[in-house]
Amino acid sequence: MAVETSGRGPNPPRTKRCELIPLLQQAQKEEGFLSPSAIRRISRRLAVTENEIYGVATFYTQFRFRPPGRYNIKVCLGTACHVGGGQNFMDVMKTDKHIDHGETTTDGKFSLERVACLGCCALAPVVVVNDEVHGRMNRVTFMQLLETLDPSPEAALPAETEESPE
């Protein structure tokens, strides 16, 4: 296929460059985040500089650069969830678990993400734990949910992901 540019400055052949986002998504699916080695690998494969790849990856909220916690909690802050009090769940995470958007607890158990809208507005407010959707939540049921995930300090749960750094 012919080598072309998109009119946005010199780009590598389009057949390669358009694989960038799918490759980043694949890497994140495998590792849970975009590690420096994954970026390096993609950079070589597509002949796009690592700088450029970071430039693209940081633009999109889907990509994270640190490993998520064992329970990745996504708090939906779409309109219906906002009106229904979704912000409360962010507050609970801040006061109880001491983490904010994009952060992971020091024990690697919880990570927190704020998302714009998950399209489950009829169930608002919504919280997603790993891939499970919990609808019609309130502050109290959310705290109960956290309790079931992390019942006591010595909760013996199988480690599914690596511990977070630091």
Partner 1 sequence: MRHDAVEGKTKVLVCEGTGCVSSKSPEIRQAIQSAVRGKGLDGRVEVGLTGCHGFCEKGPIVVVEPEGLFYCRVKPEDAKDIAASLVDGAEPVKRLFYRHPVSKETVPYYRDIMFYKKQNRVILRNCGIINPEVIEDYEAQGGYEALRRVVGKMSPEDIVAEIRKAGLRGRGGAGFPAAVKWDVCRRQPGGEKFVICNADEGDPGAFMDRSILEADPHSVIEGLIILGYAVGARRGFIYCRAEYPLAVRRVRMALDQARRKNYLGEGILGAGFDFKVEVFEGAGAFVCGEETALIASIEGSRGMPRSRPPFPAEKGLWGKPTVINNVKTLASVPPIITRGAEWFSSIGTASSKGTAVFALTGKIANSGLVEVPMGAPLSTIIYEIGGGIPNKKNFKAVQTGGPSGGCLPAIQLELPIDFDSLQAAGSMMGSGGLVVMDEDTCIVDVARFFLSFTQSESCGKCVPCRVGTRHMVALLEKITTGKGTEEDLVKLENLALMVKQSSLCGLGQTAPNPVLTALRYFRGEFIAHVVDKRCPAAVCRDLVTFRIIPDRCTGCRQCVKVCPTGAITGPRSQPHSLDQSKCIKCRSCYEICRFDAVAGEAIIIVS
Select 85 or 149, whichever has its Cβ closest to partner 1: 85
Of 85, 92, 103, nearest to 149 by C-alpha is 92
85 binds partner 1 (CB under 8 A): yes
Pick the binder of partner 1 from 31, 56, 161, 163 (CB under 8 A): 56
Residue 138 phi, psi (nearest 5): -135, 175
Q: Footprint of partner 1 on residues 104-133 (CB under 8 A)? A: 115-124, 131-133
Select 120 or 149, whichever has its Cβ closest to partner 1: 120
Pick the binder of partner 1 from 30, 41, 50, 91 (CB under 8 A): 91
User: Rounded to an integer, what distance in angstroms lies between the CA atom of residue 147 and that of residue 71?
Assistant: 12
- Which whole-number Å values give the CA distances from 67 to 26, 32, 80, in the listed order? 15, 6, 29
Residues touching partner 1, count (CB under 8 A): 54
Residue 66 phi, psi (nearest 5): -130, 150
User: Rounded to an integer, what distance in angstroms lies between the CA atom of residue 27 and that of residue 90?
Assistant: 28
Pick the binder of partner 1 from 49, 51, 62, 130 (CB under 8 A): 62
Q: Footprint of partner 1 on residues 16-45 (CB under 8 A)? A: 17-22, 24-25
**Closest approach of Cβ 47 to partner 1, in Å?**
12
10 binds partner 1 (CB under 8 A): no
* Tokens encoding 120: 């489950």
134 binds partner 1 (CB under 8 A): yes
Element (H, E) at 158: none
82 binds partner 1 (CB under 8 A): yes
- Cis-peptide into 36, omega within 30 deg: no
Cβ–Cβ < 8 Å for 109, 70: yes
Binding positions for partner 1, rule: CB under 8 A: 4-8, 11, 14, 17-22, 24-25, 48, 55-56, 59-63, 77-83, 85, 88, 91, 95, 115-124, 131-135, 138-141, 143
